[in-house]
Structure 1
Amino acid sequence: MNKVLVGFTAGILVGILFAPAKGSETRETIARRGNELKDKFNDLVDSMTDKFDSLKADAEDLVDEGVRQAKAYQNEVS
């Protein structure tokens, strides 16, 4: 599977580089697509960070509630 991905990527790059466009246009296309990919990756990282922070806050709330209940049970037993 890894070889297929490498071959696919190489094919796209060769196609872009040998396309009937000026070199400057090709470089602009590569730069634009690279920036789009970078932006998508950054959005993915931001989304994952937000979800992680949300899960962390939920876990902290759950732990706090567990501690409160444990103390309440301890007070009832005492």
Structure 2
Amino acid sequence: MSSIKVLLGALAGLVIGAAAGALTGALFAPSKDKRTRKIRLKKGEAKVEVLKEKFDQSLDSITERFKEEVSDLIEKEAS
């Protein structure tokens, strides 16, 4: 193996390790950095609200479609 490949592999490992460390540090910030966690919590809550709205819309759509199908079946049975 050439020394260039070894050097590039070591450099890639260093970069990946630094990125993983930074991410871990940001996710598990000490309690003195409550601001970071509050920001992430608010973003997460906003995404949950969007998902709830989409779920409610989908549920309403499915319910309406079900009612229409039941109504059509009742009309077919009556005729």
Question: What is aligned with 1:3?
Answer: none
The answer for unaligned runs of 5 or more in structure 1 is 1-9, 70-78
Question: What is aligned with 2:61?
Answer: 51
Aligned partner letter, 2:52: N
Question: Displaced runs of 4+ in structure 1, greater than 2 A?
Answer: none
Secondary structure of residue in 1 paired with 2:44: helix
Equivalents in 1 of 2:58, 2:38: separation in Å? 30
* Residue 45 of structure 1, CA deviation: 1.0
Aligned residues: 53
RMSD: 2.3
The answer for unaligned runs of 5 or more in structure 2 is 1-18
Equivalents in 1 of 2:33, 2:54: separation in Å? 31
User: TM-score if structure 1 supplies the norm length?
Assistant: 0.59
Equivalents in 1 of 2:46, 2:34: separation in Å? 18
Question: What is aligned with 1:38?
Answer: 48
User: TM-score if structure 2 supplies the norm length?
Assistant: 0.58
